[in-house]
Each structure stands twice: as structure tokens, then as C-alpha cells.
Amino acid sequence: MDTLVTIPDIGPISTASGFVSLERCSDSRAVAGKDGVVSITATGDRKVEFIAYADRTLAYVKSALGYPAYYPVHPVAIEKPVKAVLMDLDGTSVRSEEFWIWIIQMSTASLLGDANFELEDEDLPYVSGHSVSEHLQYCISKYCPDKTVEQARDYYFEHTNREMQAILEGEGREGAFTPTPGLKDFLLELRNRGIKIGLVTSGLYQKAWPEIVSAFRSIGLGDPKEFYDGIITAGFAIRPGEPGTLGELSPKPHPWLYAECARVGLGIDFKDRHHVIGLEDSGAGICSIRLAGFAPIGFAGGNIHESGTRELCVEWVEEFAGILRIVD
């Protein structure tokens, strides 16, 4: 397979990867061929740009809200024994992407005053896997540039609160949160092997927690807080008259959620990071795991191929059984 570029601490990226070669970083601070910069390449969805030098690489994570960031890229590997598995929620542990895309669609429809509005297929990589505000900003930029993120968030939480309350009451959208086939047996097997389990989601607590509870209720695993060794969400939304927590500007593909779950939640030191693997079905999640210094495992069914991040995965699995083979 032809090689597009070789990125230090990542490796060769093929011409078929979906990666895009750039002359300069989006903020123009780095230019290929100048000041030691060998190459600049972006993931297919343009969310992360890799600035490669002869012996190191920086990752530039873009922001639709105006707060991008640079991160060092660390080499990743899987070393035995595997001490922890960090897992994404939406799309990996629970099949819920369609539900949350539907909420984004309804929010955009409310902004437009058009109840018949529907997202297009080409929108899907940009309305899943990132933060709520990133999703909404994408829709505003494309469909209603005269509106604001703040207006969109008001509609988003109006729809979310209504639907989540209905689901907790045993009603609401049918099939909104369906545990991924094999989830229960997989989680129990990890516990039997003494492997720590962390759950990591870019979802705000008020949307993520009912989803987790609903999924555990359906597979009979009791209280998620008592089962997982660590759970981290994007926190609480800032609302008028209510305090919020950090989460909207630092979610996936930034490394912080995965880094915090492993280091603070599970007590795993950075020097032991090669004994940790991360399981994700989204391109943003794969980048997040990689930038946190862990080995990302791609899980089929999400937008990894569409986002052009497949070659950032150390392994690829179609089902949970594939993960058990990796940790053996």
C-alpha cells in the first residue's frame, strides 16, 4: 500500500487512509518545509492536524468554538498484562447515536422553525462523537448562520430533558438506548480477569447518566457506580442561574476525559499507560485515546472510517470477543 506520510510516534499513513496533506496548520503557526516542520497532515474530518518534525509530532486539535489546542503525540503500544480497558459509551457500550443525532436534528429544526427539517447523510460525522456545542455549531454554520450556539443549547436541553425524563419513567423513544450485543458477558469477563474498567463519555451528565442506568437495567448488572472502577462524563452544563463544570471545550478529541479516567479514576500512572487500552467507535474518540497516550482499539459500527482515523487504531475489532483476544 502506498504511503502518504510517515508521522513520528504514529507511523506510516497510507494514501488510502483518508488523511489529508496540508501546506500549513489551520492557525498558520506551522508551515510544511519551514522551521523543522517535515509534514502536516489532517484526519479526514479535519478535526486534528499532525505537525511532524524529524523526531517528534504535535497534534493541533481544532475548535468550532474558538479554543483550539496543541498536544504532544506519544508513542503507543499494548504491553501485557493489560491492567485496564477504557470504554466509550455511545456507539460502543450502548447503541444510542441515532437518538442523540435525532436530538440535534430536533434542536436545529426548532432553530429553523421547521418541524420537517432533517439532517443530511453528509452531516453525520459532524454531529456525533464531539461535544454538544460542537455538534450544534456545525448545524448552525451550515443551516442557520444567523442563530447562536446559546439559542441552540436552549432548544437542545429542552428536548433532552423532556425525552430523558420520559425514558427514566419507562416511556419515551422506543429503542433509544440498546446495549451493544455481548456487553454484559464482556464486562463480567473483564471483572473475572481482574482488569479495571473505565467508562468514558463526551456526553454531559444529565444525558449520559440516564443512558447508563437504562442500559444496565436492561442487562441486569445493577448500579453502574458499583460496577465500573471509574466513570467520567463531560460534567454539568452551564445554564442560566446554575453552575457548570468543564466539559464543552475539552471533550474528545482532546485527551482529557480518557487521561482523567485512567490517572485519577483508576489510579494508573502515565508511565504505565501501555498497559491500558481504549475502545472507541468514533474518530474523535480514537484521537482522544491516542493523544492521552493509550493504544486505541477501533470498534466497528461508528464513523472511524468516514472520519479518516482508521490508521490511528492499533487494532480493529468487530465485536467484544476481539478485545478478549487482545488482552489474553
- The predicted pLDDT at position 1 comes to 72
- The predicted pLDDT at position 167 comes to 78
> What would the pLDDT profile of 94-109 be if each residue is shown by its tens digit?
988 889 999 999 999 9
> What would the pLDDT profile of 303-317 be if each residue is shown by its tens digit?
999 999 999 999 999
Single out the residue in 72, 107, 128 at which a domain terminates. 72
Q: Which pTM was predicted?
A: 0.87
Quote the mean pLDDT of the chain. 94
Q: Cell for 266?
A: 483508576
Residue range of the domain that includes 10? 3-72
Q: Strands (DSSP E) along 63-128, which ranges?
A: 69-72, 84-88, 94-95
- The predicted pLDDT at position 248 comes to 86
Give whole-number Cα distances, 156 to 115, 160, 278, 328, in Å: 14, 6, 29, 43
In a domain, 89, yes or no: yes
Report the CATH number at residue 262: 3.40.50.1000
**Mean per-residue pLDDT, 103-127:** 95
Q: Which residue has the cell 438506548?
A: 177
- The predicted pLDDT at position 174 comes to 73
- The predicted pLDDT at position 305 comes to 94
CA distance 92 to 99: 14
**Mean per-residue pLDDT, 109-134:** 91
90 lies in the same domain as 103: no
Q: What's the total number of domains in the chain?
A: 3
241 lies in the same domain as 294: yes
**Are 283 and 306 in contact, with CB atoms under 8 Å apart?**
yes
- The predicted pLDDT at position 217 comes to 86
- The predicted pLDDT at position 324 comes to 96
Residue 255 in this model has a pLDDT that exceeds 90: yes
Helical packing angle, 205-219 and 149-168, nearest 10°: 30
Closest Cα partner for 247 from 294, 190, 201, 297?
Answer: 201
Single out the residue in 133, 168, 203 at which a domain terminates. 168
- 26 three-state secondary structure: coil
- The predicted pLDDT at position 96 comes to 84
Residue 282 in this model has a pLDDT that exceeds 80: yes
62 lies in the same domain as 112: no
> What would the pLDDT profile of 46-62 be if each residue is shown by its tens digit?
999 999 999 999 999 99
**Mean per-residue pLDDT, 287-299:** 98
**Are 156 and 166 in contact, with CB atoms under 8 Å apart?**
no
- The predicted pLDDT at position 207 comes to 82
Q: Which residue has the cell 487512509?
A: 17
119 lies in the same domain as 197: no
Q: Cell for 139?
A: 448545524
CA atoms within 13 A on the CB side of 252: 30
In a domain, 77, yes or no: no
Residue type, position 179, single letter? P
Query: Environment class of residue 256 by beta-carbon count within 10 Å: exposed (0-12), middle (13-18) or buried (19+)?
Result: buried
